[in-house]
Amino acid sequence: MGLITEIDYGTPHSTAENDVTLTIDGFSVTVPEGTSIMRAAMETGIKIPKLCATDMVDAFGSCRLCLVEIEGRNGTPSSCTTPVAPGIVVKTQTGRLKDIRRGVMELYISDHPLDCLTCAANGDCELQDMAGVVGLRDVRYGYDGDNHVHARHAGDGAENFRWMKKDESNPYFTYDPSKCIVCSRCVRACEEVQGTFALTIEGRGFESRVSAGMHQPFIESECVSCGACVQACPTATLREKSVIEIGQPEHSVVTTCAYCGVGCSFKAEMRGDELVRMMPYKDGKANRGHSCVKGRFAWGYATHKDRILNPMVRDKITDPWREVSWEEAFAHVAGEFRRIQYQYGKGAIGGITSSRCTNEETFLVQKLIRQGFGNNNVDTCARVCHSPTGYGLKTTFGTSAGTQDFDSVEHTDVALIIGANPTDGHPVFASRLKKRLREGARLIVIDPRRIDLVRQPHVEAAHHLPLRPGTNVAVLTALSHVIVTEGLFDEAFIRERCDWSEFEDYAAFAAEPQHSPEEVEKVSGVAADTIRAAARLYATGGNAAIYYGLGVTEHSQGSTTVMAIANLAMLTGNIGRPGVGVNPLRGQNNVQGACDMGSFPHELPGYRHMSDDATRDVFEAVWNVTLDPEPGLRIPNMLDAAVEGSFRGLYIQGEDILQSDPDTKHVAAGLAAMECVVVHDLFLNETANYAHVFLPGSTFLEKDGTFTNAERRINRVRKVMAPKNGLADWEVTQRLAQAMGLDWAYTHPAQVMDEIALTTPSFAGVNYDLLDREGSVQWPCNDKAPTGTPVMHIDGFVRGKGKFIRTEYVATDEKSGPRFPLLLTTGRILSQYNVGAQTRRTENVVWHSEDRLEIHPHDAEQRGLCDGDWVRIRSRAGETTLRAQITDRVAPGVVYTTFHHPDTQANVVTTEFSDWATNCPEYKVTAVQVSPSNGPSDWQVEYEEQARLARRIARPLEAAE
Amino acid sequence: MSPEHETRTGKDKLVYMANQIGRFFETMPPAEAAEGVAKHINDFWEPRMRRQFFEIVDAGGAGLSPLVAEAADKVRRPAQQTA
């Protein structure tokens, strides 16, 4: 095990198809046209000295170290900016080149501190390496001249106005201007890789300095702390604080981020079993070497003092917790679950799988429920996010998943973003999208709120449709109306791939006058012209891809909206090739995987309905049990049944339903009605306040397994340290299963994957050897696609013919009116993740320490509210308080908040309304009233007190002798 | 004072959910509509929910939309007690 060092080719790879052959130092080299000489040399193993070049960004040609000589050409061109040409003869090492390089290094070092031994980059400094490479032995200029290195001049001790002190304002990295060589790599990484444009070079010549924003501390600038600049820096100028504190890592392991559904690959760089830093992995096919602030930096929760490391039990939720052994905990749960089943029936217990745990762990939890509990009462948090995606895409296309890989965006000409905020929710995808937009692709945004993508440096949406919350179906059907009535549909595609009579039916439906933009303007508030223009652009602008998020699904018509999206893609033939498609942006790291693994109560792994005899036969044979063909309870149904008394026990792995699910009071009532709630988590989360048993969980750093991201990519998760709680999560589930009498005997998650492959056709070819070999694969992965499927539905839809479905707009019953005149919608922010259990336990709180209510200046003025005032927000379900933020990002009549902090309790306000097909809650529309407030609501005060009491842990008293 | 909790529960909620499903299928061709509602309920409603559904239907189907009422014949009656 060593440190994985990826080769830096100096400049990005060329995608040209034609090859060029040249000679470098006597060796013949063949590379794609457009490749730099530097990269061509590196591909043959010749490292040309360089400082300002790195293959994550375009060549810049400023450091003058990478010069070469080319026969027949004058001078010494820089190899990073000079492309290869057929037959040229390049020399990388001549007397003249050696002299020039040594001279360049001499100048660099004359203005650089010589504290190498105590420098944080010691052992990982390209400047140091280059000094060695060029044979620098002396600096003739001395070190006392004009410089940026010392606070005071050597001779007279006078202040050196060029010197700038270290900026330590960012919690995760430092900027030390005295070590900067102004290579611009950080500036270019910020522009080209991240797309934020927070950094610049200020001044000219010797005055040139890297500057965040307008010469501001990093934390006050537009910097989003993605760390691309730190990764790009060749010196100690930008450096992780963890490296400064710990030192250089000595080995690394490639693993997968446990935050959002982008599923970035990282090298976990370790010293012993201490994590030094997370470094994005360039071969990671989802992220291609980039990351966001969460994945790269926000892993401190893994060792946070709040982590619970011992199992705990209590009789009543009003009792303090009692720490027990694992054996006692398992025996207690098994005993209670069996008692409840005996007393109230087999269907009186169930479980919830976690979208944060691995595929293998999720598979085991649903297996425990189906095989051990003998029922299908299993659900997962996808219920509250992307269950409509499952239903909608399965109905129209035949399978429940995004159709593309993330690389596909590089071929997109028109991106249609609906109900998603990628720069905050899926930042690494957003960076890849922005790169394509800067290359000229056009953008349509459908969102009630002016998300950052609508307008930011070098990105501007062609059309923003700021629709009223709850009118997605009306607007999308209006887009279809324009496409159908103006004849912009792709007839050849539809005739070949879809059922023509179903299309005719749908086209007739879409063409009805009530679906015209002019009519829809009345309900949606979006100007008819804008709808028409957006429809024309989507239909005729080239490769058009739809990316959508929870603003689509979390509505009473969520499933209908997903079908409307599928209709649009089929109408315009935007399916089945790179650059197009329908792409749900999944919220959590493994929400796709949790759905794939049979976490829903109506289906077995691979999206096969419980009533399907052939599928049940497969599992019955392997599990040696008779499976119930009836669907089980979904999360909201479990809570309803609990209140009614027929559901009494629940095993929850890694989900905080009390905070994340709607109508908190109803969730609390359901949990309180149960007799044995088992929470398996890292922390005493909000749900644990109602739990009788707490089983400590392990982090993604502490176990082996796989996560499946939003592009169906199965990525390996690798253990880099022992579980602090003693058992990986899959082991906990296995021990619980054993305590309930099941004969499980897995010794490694690889065996669980083998069982998945054995029983699930779309995973038939997946095993850990393949994943180690390929890095990752996208399902379906089987005999037909041995290394997976980047783009789906290429020659036909999974279900055969694509199915057009009528999508009638039905207004939600959650309506604003005199009592509740505003519509509340919810979302997330870059630095925080979901309910915040992880990110709130990191330094990320510096960016977002509380949830705020965004309200339009007009609505604020009517209510006498000023920015920062405490406000009370009230719906028919409940009320809470938080502080107001006045902004015109939201339209008049709409308010918005995030839900990252439990003390805000945004879900006290959300209602019981849900998607008609899947019961996915309608988080995105709640009618509310907002008024000034003096402080926390009664509920918040009561809740905090209840939470405080519920979290007490009894410490055994020492026996007095 | 916090507002009274005004969310739907129990059979009211079940009727509401059934009618929501009905609303989606109402725009389908008549032959498919009732079939669609019934299949949806059969596929996704746990027997306890279907049992409650039939309690409502058997008591006259108060509150159910005409399409849902029509579909009730095609919904599978759950076994008396699944244990």
Residues of B in contact with A634 (CB under 8 A): 44, 46
Residue A857 at interface with chain B, using a CB cutoff of 8 Å: no
Q: What proportion of chain A, given as a percentage, has pLDDT over 70?
A: 99
Q: Give buried/exposed letters for A214-234 (b at 16+ CB in 10 A, else e).
A: eeeebeebbbbbbbbbbbbbb
Q: Is A782 exposed, middle or buried (0-12, 13-18, 19+ CB in 10 A)?
A: middle
To the nearest whole angstrom, how far is the Cα of A646 from the nearest Cα of chain B?
Answer: 9
Task: Name which of A808, A916, A918, A930 to mutate to probe chain B: the one with the most chain B Cβ atoms within 10 A of its Cβ.
Answer: A916
Q: Is A201 helix (H, G, I), strand (E, B) or coil?
A: strand
Q: Which residues of chain A have pLDDT under 50?
A: 961
Q: Is A300 helix (H, G, I), strand (E, B) or coil?
A: helix
Query: What is the C-alpha to C-alpha distance for residues B78 and B51, in angstroms, rounded to an integer?
Result: 6
Residue A560 at interface with chain B, using a CB cutoff of 8 Å: yes
Token pair of A540 as six digits: 């005729």
pTM of the model: 0.94
Residues of A in contact with B36 (CB under 8 A): none
Whether residue B1 is contained in a domain is answered as no
Q: A-B interface: how many C-beta pairs under 8 angstroms? A: 93
For every residue of chain B, DSSP letters joined together read -PPPP----HHHHHHHHHHHHHHHHTTS-HHHHHHHHHHHHHHH--HHHHHHHHHHHHTT-TT--HHHHHHGGGSPPPPS---
Residues of B in contact with A344 (CB under 8 A): none
Q: Where are the beta strands (DSSP E) in A169-320?
A: 173-175, 199-202, 209-212, 238-240, 251-256, 265-271, 274-280, 312-313
- Domain region containing B41: 10-74
Residues 6+ apart with CB under 8 A from A784: none
For A665, the closest of B5, B24, B26 (CB atoms) is B5
Answer CATH for A822-949 from 2.60.260.20, 2.40.40.20, 3.30.830.10, 2.40.50.140: 2.40.40.20
pLDDT confidence band for B2 (50 / 70 / 90): very low
Whether residue B54 is contained in a domain is answered as yes
Query: Per residue in A873-906, pLDDT tens?
Result: 999 988 999 999 999 999 999 999 988 888 887 8
Q: What proportion of chain B, given as a percentage, has pLDDT over 90?
A: 70
pLDDT greater than 70 at residue B1: no
ipTM of the complex model:
0.92
Can you give the length of chain B in residues? Answer: 83
Whether residue B47 is contained in a domain is answered as yes
To the nearest whole angstrom, how far is the Cα of B45 from the nearest Cα of chain A?
Answer: 6
pLDDT at residue A902, as a whole number: 82
For A878, the closest of B2, B40, B46 (CB atoms) is B2
Q: Is A184 exposed, middle or buried (0-12, 13-18, 19+ CB in 10 A)?
A: buried
Amino acid at A39: R
pLDDT confidence band for B82 (50 / 70 / 90): very low
pLDDT at residue B8, as a whole number: 76
For A630, the closest of B3, B26, B47 (CB atoms) is B47
Token pair of B47 as six digits: 């027997």
pLDDT at residue B3, as a whole number: 43
pLDDT confidence band for B22 (50 / 70 / 90): very high
For B82, the closest of A347, A808, A914 (CB atoms) is A347
- CATH number assigned to the domain covering A19-93: 3.10.20.740
Q: Are A376 and A631 in contact (CB under 8 A)?
A: yes
For A876, the closest of B3, B28, B83 (CB atoms) is B3
Residue A267's CB: how many other CB atoms inside 10 A?
A: 24
For A879, the closest of B2, B40, B83 (CB atoms) is B2
pLDDT confidence band for B81 (50 / 70 / 90): low
User: Taking CB atoms and an 8 Å limit, are A877 and B5 in contact across chains?
Assistant: yes
Residues of A in contact with B23 (CB under 8 A): 808, 810, 916
Task: Name which of B13, B15, B24 to mutate to probe chain A: the one with the most chain A Cβ atoms within 10 A of its Cβ.
Answer: B24
Residue A637 at interface with chain B, using a CB cutoff of 8 Å: yes
Whether residue B48 is contained in a domain is answered as yes
Q: Are A895 and A873 in contact (CB under 8 A)?
A: yes
Name the residue in chain B with its Cα closest to that of A630.
Answer: B46
Could you give the C-alpha distances from A911 to A416, A935, B64, in angstroms and in order? Answer: 29, 23, 22
Q: Vertex A507, ends A468 and B70: CA angle to 5°?
A: 80
To the nearest whole angstrom, how far is the Cα of B26 from the nearest Cα of chain A?
Answer: 9
- CATH number assigned to the domain covering A312-383+590-763: 3.40.50.740
User: Taking CB atoms and an 8 Å limit, are A874 and B3 in contact across chains?
Assistant: yes
Count structural domains, chain B: 1
* Spans of all domains in chain A: 19-93, 312-383+590-763, 387-584, 822-949
User: Taking CB atoms and an 8 Å limit, are B7 and A912 in contact across chains?
Assistant: yes
To the nearest whole angstrom, how far is the Cα of B4 from the nearest Cα of chain A?
Answer: 8
Task: Name which of B1, B7, B16 to mutate to probe chain A: the one with the most chain A Cβ atoms within 10 A of its Cβ.
Answer: B7
Residues of A in contact with B47 (CB under 8 A): 347, 630
For B43, the closest of A609, A810, A878 (CB atoms) is A609
| Fold classification of A387-584 (topology level) | Dimethylsulfoxide Reductase; domain 2 (3.40.228)
